[in-house]
Structure 1
Amino acid sequence: MAKRMMRLFTELSSRKWIAAMTGRFSHSSLSRHIIPMFAKAYHIPLHEAEKELSEYRTLNEFFTRRLKPGMRPIHSEPDMMISPVDSLITAMGPIDAGTILNVKGQNYTIAELLNHSPYMDKYKHGFFFVLYLSPTDYHRIHTPVAGRKLESEHIKGKVYPVNDFGMTHMKSVLSRNERLITYISHELGEVAVVKVGAMNVSSIKYVDEAAGEWNRGDDLAYFEFGSTVVLLTQTRTFEPLPQLAPGVSVKMGQPLGRFHRPTKASTKEPGVQ
């Protein structure tokens, strides 16, 4: 009964107009008064922030804060994919014939997640990470590879919560919520950076919509409240680090695994001779 009531409440509260109201308040000058309480409640490491707490004019400005130079060093090996965000790994693994398996007990298809994009077949046997950003985390999203933009797609949708309750008890949150997807080509393949909106997220924004090329770790986008990034790698081009697993926290710039150049044999579908 309690779970049914929570699902009903989540359905009712996961409306874009509620997110818009929250967004308007977080952009208002009135919201600056709750910044100290917000920072204390979520144990935000203020020594990392680019500015002093009193310099932020709105809650949104504080939430989307930049960090001081050097706070997130970028791993030096160029064939490594780095984490694009500070986050908790909530799921990871190989993509099984276009299906992401067992994300909080649910399966997701690449077709639904990528809105049936013409790029989706490139990821059918790739690798995925689901990276959850809590309100405590630094909320800017950086590029996991050096490369050029192939395409960007904004998919309208719901704003269900992406916390443990939402991901476990709401159906297909990652493919029903609003998403901003960036497809990036790099020297050893392609990646898709899927930025998933969530409850109280009024928008997901690019830092520079005109940008078409990035170095690893460049500023790509930001959430205006906590959310999730789903990171996909092209079929058989990537090997994750063995010490990574669901429940492990990572910082932006830390390595997630190594790319390798696909051979002709490895790009064939299973069973094809």
Structure 2
Amino acid sequence: MTKGSIADIKISMSAITRILPKRRLSRWVGHFMHWKGPSLWARLSIRGFAWLYNIDLAEAEKSYDQYPSIGEFFVRRLKTGIRPVGTGWAVHPADSKITQAAAIDNGTLIQAKGLTYKLKDFTQDPDCDKKWAGGFFMTYYLCPTDYHRVHSPVDGNITDVRYMPGELWPVNEWSTTNVPDLFSVNERVLVEIETDLGPVGVVFVGATNVGHIVLSFDEKIRGNQKGPHIFEHKHYSPEIPVHKGSELGMFRMGSTVVMLYPPSFRQKFEGHMNLGPSVRVNADLIKNP
């Protein structure tokens, strides 16, 4: 295949994806995935889904035939003890693949080779440079095979949440390498956790076919809902205490988590991070000595 034909295919894919009603399509997919049909349908569809994506049914909290829909199975909890919480300063927030990990220099994050995006646009936090510039970020991609609940990587207190409405572009490899400012354009929810080493940001990034983002500690904040989509900043007083491994929320289909760490974490972790490529939730961020 020539470079010209590859470029034509990329242009065609971009055009098709651009005109798709991505938000409406995502809600339809979400409704279908959570449709509670006959029990036989649920059992067969879940078995087929698990087989297709090579999901280990033995790790699920319940037997597969106890879930009423693919959607409920998709956001399944795991059996107690399946993902023990590490003992270091921080752990990985999700079962996922690490696609990027680098310093946040000049308020810039790396999306893919040749593409970057700005911390200020991504967080919509006027104080973001004070919190995370000079620190480091990590991008976690959750595919359908993965467990889809997101857990706190640190001990601390949840102080703020920002809901940022936006598009629902796919977050696969093609999109990250071809859609400029993808993570700043897509819908996202930023959970800020204050720690002894400074503020840590956990950013849920929405995507096509993500039914919605749900927070475990605040059910009023949800992504991809009907009606007007308005930026929301919520400050918690009193703050909400969390521990490493505490559940923060879930994706109703696959997507991406971007972690933001302050400079104090970078100084402590630089050169020692356990980067995968595939990682498990609650595993230590620092490599074992």
TM-score by length of 1: 0.88
2:120 and 2:128 in contact (8 A); partners too: no
Equivalent position of 2:224 in the other structure: none
After TM superposition, the structure 1 = structure 2 runs for residues 254-269 of structure 1, keeping only pairs within 5 Å, are 254-257=283-286
Equivalent position of 2:240 in the other structure: 212
Q: What's the RMSD between the two structures over aligned residues?
A: 1.8
For residue 241 of structure 1, report the CA deviation from its aligned partner.
5.3
Equivalent position of 2:99 in the other structure: 90
Equivalent position of 1:235 in the other structure: 263
Matched residue SS, 1:212: strand
Counterpart-to-counterpart distance in 1, 2:243 and 2:272: 25
Equivalent position of 1:40 in the other structure: 51
Q: CA 1:14–1:126 in 2, change beyond 3 Å: closer, same or farther? A: farther
Equivalent position of 2:277 in the other structure: 248
For residue 58 of structure 1, report the CA deviation from its aligned partner.
1.2
Q: Which of structure 1's runs of 4+ aligned residues deviate more than 4 A? A: none
Unaligned runs of 5+ in 2: 1-7, 220-238
Counterpart-to-counterpart distance in 2, 1:228 and 1:73: 22
* Count of aligned pairs between the two proteins: 255
Q: CA 1:193–1:243 in 2, change beyond 3 Å: closer, same or farther? A: closer
Unaligned runs of 5+ in 1: 259-273
Equivalent position of 2:29 in the other structure: 22
**Could you list the per-position Cα deviations for residues 13-62 of structure 1 after superposition, in whole angstroms to 9, with x for gaps in the alignment?**
35211111111111211373522211111001111001111111011100
1:104 and 1:167 in contact (8 A); partners too: no
Counterpart-to-counterpart distance in 1, 2:279 and 2:213: 21
Matched residue SS, 1:175: helix
After TM superposition, the structure 1 = structure 2 runs for residues 143-222 of structure 1, keeping only pairs within 5 Å, are 143-209=152-218, 212-222=240-250
Q: Percent identity at matched positions?
A: 35
Matched residue SS, 2:218: coil
Equivalent position of 1:71 in the other structure: 82
2:111 and 2:177 in contact (8 A); partners too: no
Counterpart-to-counterpart distance in 2, 1:157 and 1:102: 17
Instruction: Determine if the alignment matches structure 1 residue 103 to structure 2 residue 83.
Output: no
Counterpart-to-counterpart distance in 1, 2:253 and 2:205: 11
For residue 83 of structure 1, report the CA deviation from its aligned partner.
0.3
1:14 and 1:159 in contact (8 A); partners too: no
2:211 and 2:252 in contact (8 A); partners too: yes
Which of 44, 64, 82 in structure 2 is aligned with 1:53? 64
Q: CA 1:154–1:243 in 2, change beyond 3 Å: closer, same or farther? A: closer
Counterpart-to-counterpart distance in 2, 1:153 and 1:200: 21
Q: CA 1:241–1:133 in 2, change beyond 3 Å: closer, same or farther? A: farther
Q: CA 1:147–1:248 in 2, change beyond 3 Å: closer, same or farther? A: same
1:14 and 1:158 in contact (8 A); partners too: no
2:98 and 2:278 in contact (8 A); partners too: yes
For residue 257 of structure 1, report the CA deviation from its aligned partner.
3.3
1:125 and 1:236 in contact (8 A); partners too: no
Counterpart-to-counterpart distance in 1, 2:273 and 2:242: 28
For residue 145 of structure 1, report the CA deviation from its aligned partner.
0.5
For residue 120 of structure 1, report the CA deviation from its aligned partner.
4.2
Which amino acid is the alignment partner of residue 278 of structure 2?
Answer: S
Which amino acid is the alignment partner of residue 195 of structure 1?
Answer: F
Matched residue SS, 1:81: coil
Equivalent position of 2:19 in the other structure: 12
2:34 and 2:69 in contact (8 A); partners too: yes
Counterpart-to-counterpart distance in 2, 1:13 and 1:102: 23
For residue 207 of structure 1, report the CA deviation from its aligned partner.
1.2
